[in-house]
Amino acid sequence: MFVISAIPSLYLVNIVISTSLSLGLIFGFAIMQSFNAIAGWLAERFTDESEEKIAQRKLRQGMMEGMYHVTVQPSPEDDPASVHVPTGEDNVPVIP
């Protein structure tokens, strides 16, 4: 009987652990991205870094941005004009 009552609490513990791990990863990646951006800006400003090395660093940073940016293609379903609403007399929408 003790085992049956412990199952929901184990489920909640797993939810808390997985949530804290995911938040830790998100904040950890954000901190590292911020650190890399600041270090890159300082290196670009105060060192004699070649244009090639600057371009390589910016390319690496650009590839990492994919974790935070999502490009969404517009969908025809998002356009309200593309949705046909059946109308009755006097152009009043008909609800089926």
**What average pLDDT does the chain have?**
76
Indicate the SS3 state at residue 93: strand
Distance of CA 8 to CAs 1, 14, 88, Å? 13, 10, 53
**CA distance linking residue 29 with residue 64, whole number of Å:** 10
Indicate if the pLDDT at residue 1 is higher than 50: no
Q: What is the dihedral of CA 35, 18, 20, 66, to 10 degrees?
A: 20
pTM over 0.85? The answer is: no
pLDDT per position as a tens digit, 24-33: 998 998 898 8
